[in-house]
Amino acid sequence: MRNVWVVVIAAVFALALPVGAMAQQVKNQKNAPAVKGPTVSKPLLKPLAAAQEAAKKEQWAECISQLKALDGQPTNAPYDNYVINDILGFCALRANDSALAIASWAKVVDSEFAEATRSATLRKGLLQLSYQAKDYSGAVTYGRRLIELGTADEAVHLLTIQSLYLQNDFKGAETMSAAYVASMESAGQTPPDMALQLYASSCIKQDDDACTLRALEKQAKYFPKKETWPNLTLLMLRAGGETNTLNVFRLSREMGGLLRGEEYTEMAQLALERGLPGEAQSVIEEGKEKGIFTNKSNLELATRLLGTAKAQALADKPTLLAQDKEAAGRKSGEVDARIALAFLSYAEFERSVAAYERGFAKGNIKNVEEARLNLGIAQLKAGNKEAAAATFAAVKGDETLQRVARLWTLKTK
């Protein structure tokens, strides 16, 4: 996955320059010896003041030179080294010496003298500097700490996840991105597109179909890409078995995920096998309108299927109302469910809903969860989105059937 994250370091440290505070301390030490809290040792006041002056004049090389000479001297107190490295980190950053800035602020970020807000600011900056320097391990360390402390914003989460990804730690990137997406959803917020892309890509890199399905389902919900639905279709067909193939095709067709002539002809053949010529006819006609059948064999097959579907529909459709009336008088709901599906295949949505509801009231439907899924589709197509959403939410059964129902729910929003 190409690197698409852009970082801006200067803004992170806009308030980080300790020069002004240090100058005030020098003034306080000269005028009021009884200053509370840690103070810089007196021998360092003048050289530190000179380094500060160089920083104010944006003489970064001079600032760095003077502070390097002061750092780590045996006579320095711990607070001396803290102040020296804090200012040194800033001057190094301004001099575009990221390595020195990282090294200097690494000595400051967890110091006992650093306030919590100061440490958080430094840690975020160190995350970004490490990322820019391609020190992804260091970036992850700083990012994880910010997340643990509850001070991580969107940029921190994304940079940390991407740093894991760029280390080829795809499992780590998947785990963190999935957790971040879940936390955003729990808070009623939309996860960032980049988090969803990293989630999906991390799963793909692991050749983990189940993981990829979970990630693509989230992507379809929030930021679907051109390839999202075709990929979802392929994976659901691979995972769902033959019993769910037609259900997956119906969803994919609705969402624009069918792209190849073979998919249209296979869907039409399955519909014919299920005794649904109306659906088969509409599928092939749609494929022809879109110019999907681009080679001779596909076109010939589509033409044959269309002829068969039209002939069967011509014989079947005129009898449907009579069959519906007869089914209403039967005790088993299975016949009602079959009639309801036939109505659905002919786009008779209100009649389909009525027949399904009658069948559910009677009971004894064989494939009750699949029937429930199709009732939700009929309700949706009839314009009752609220009822459809409730019906889709009630679908149980295997994982693929539930996923198909959840994805149909996107149409109810």
pLDDT in tens, 290-326: 999 999 999 999 999 999 999 999 999 999 999 999 9
- Residue among 107, 198, 113, 111 nearest 157 (CA): 198
- With contact defined as beta carbons under 8 Å apart, do 200 and 185 qualify? no
Question: Tell me, what's the pLDDT at 4?
Answer: 38
**How many C-beta atoms surround the C-beta of residue 5 within 10 A?**
15
- Positive or negative, the CA dihedral 288, 292, 293, 295 is positive
Q: How far apart are CA 198 and CA 190, in angstroms?
A: 15
pLDDT surpasses 70 at 271: yes
Residue 398: exposure state from Cβ atoms within 10 A (0-12, 13-18, ≥19): middle
pLDDT surpasses 80 at 17: no
pLDDT in tens, 324-336: 999 999 999 999 9
**Helical pair 78-94 and 98-106, crossing angle rounded to 10 deg:** 160
The string of DSSP codes covering 21-63 is HHHHHHHHHHH-S--SS----HHHHHHHHHHHHHHHTT-HHHH
pTM: 0.85
Question: Tell me, what's the pLDDT at 36?
Answer: 62
Tokens of 100: 């020195």
pLDDT surpasses 90 at 65: yes
Compare 142 and 27 and report the one with higher pLDDT.
142
Q: How far apart are CA 264 and CA 249, in angstroms?
A: 9
Compare 298 and 17 and report the one with higher pLDDT.
298
pLDDT category of residue 26 using cuts at 50, 70 and 90? very low
User: Domains plus CATH for the chain?
Assistant: 10-30+40-167 (1.25.40.10), 168-225 (no CATH), 230-412 (1.25.40.10)
